[in-house]
Amino acid sequence: AQLLESGGGLVQPGGSLRLSCTASGFTFNNYAMAWVRQAPGKGLEWVSSISGNADTTPHSDSVKGRFTISRDNSKNTLFLHMSSLRAEDAAIYYCVKCASTCQHQWFDSWGQGTQVTVSS
Amino acid sequence: DIQLTQSPSFLSASVGDRVTITCRASQGINNFLAWYQLKPGQAPKVLIYVVGTLQTGVPSRFSGSASGTEFTLTISGLQPEDSAVYYCQQLYSYPLTFGGGTKVEIK
């Protein structure tokens, strides 16, 4: 599996950004996917997951109501729509493939990550 | 939310040493625990899942075990390429939480 993130960059507080992750090497719609982030000097934080058919989309409390995960199975692409961005959202965002579902499985492939900076 | 307390946060050991990292869960997680390795400039990778199953391609010097809500990652015969940060993660219930990480340094 190969995962390639894009869309990161510098955004002002309160702004919006959309991250994308293009997947290859596996049958995309058969697997749940997730976003994980790592803020500077901090540990890993799960952000959101999405089932293969997009009917289940849990989000962490820290992003609920501001971030939305989605996927386009016809284009093998995962998205993270981020709005009302805060300084504490600055991080490397990793696209992750789950082994099957995410819950009760594991994260078996990770992308290299895309950097999001929130600053005025 | 399930909390994972990982220890130590830093360890320094010599090539060939056996090192152990511990991850304690705040409640039962039915062995849905994985370990990941992060190196600068590289994509993170899974080492072990469901407590003790080694991911394909991961050297056999890595092993995982559990005793109740305490989980252990062991590296038997530390190698220079094992210098990294290691994280445990519970996948039992949302939110899917991670431990705080352990930085492993080679002396």
DSSP string, A68-90: EEEEETTTTEEEEEE-S--GGG-
| Residue A52 CB neighbour total at 10 angstroms | 18
Does the CA dihedral B96-B100-B102-B103 come out positive or negative? Answer: positive
Q: Pick from B44, B55, B98: which is nearest to A45 by CB?
A: B98
Q: Name the strand (E) or helix (H) holding B23.
A: strand B18-25
Contact assessment for residue B14 and residue B107, using Cβ atoms and an 8 Å cutoff: yes
Say how far residue B69 (Cα) sits from the centre of its chain: 14
Contact B43 A94 (CB under 8 A): yes
Partners of B25 in beta bridges: B4
Give per-residue pLDDT as tens, A34-66. Answer: 999 999 999 999 999 999 999 999 999 999 999
Both tokens assigned to B86: 């290691």
pLDDT tens sequence across A57-105: 999 999 999 999 999 999 999 999 999 999 999 999 999 999 999 999 9
Interface contact B98-A112, CB threshold 8 A: no
Q: What is the pLDDT of residues B73-91, one digit of tens each?
A: 999 999 999 999 999 999 9
**Is the pLDDT confidence value at B51 over 90?**
no
Overall average pLDDT of the B20-41 stretch: 96
Neighbours of A43 (CB within 10 A): 15
d(CA A36, CA B98): 10
Report residue B77 as tokens: 């015969």
Nearest CA in chain B to A101: B91
What b-and-e string marks burial along A92-107, b requiring 16 or more CB atoms within 10 Å of the CB? bbbbbbbbeebbebbb
Can you give the pLDDT at residue B91?
Answer: 96
Q: What SS3 class is residue A29?
A: helix
Which of the four pLDDT bands, split at 50, 70 and 90, describes residue B97? very high
Nearest to A110 among B44, B49, B93 (CB): B44
Contacts of B45 in chain A (CB under 8 A): 110
Q: Give me the sign of the Cα torsion angle B107, A109, A62, A114.
A: positive
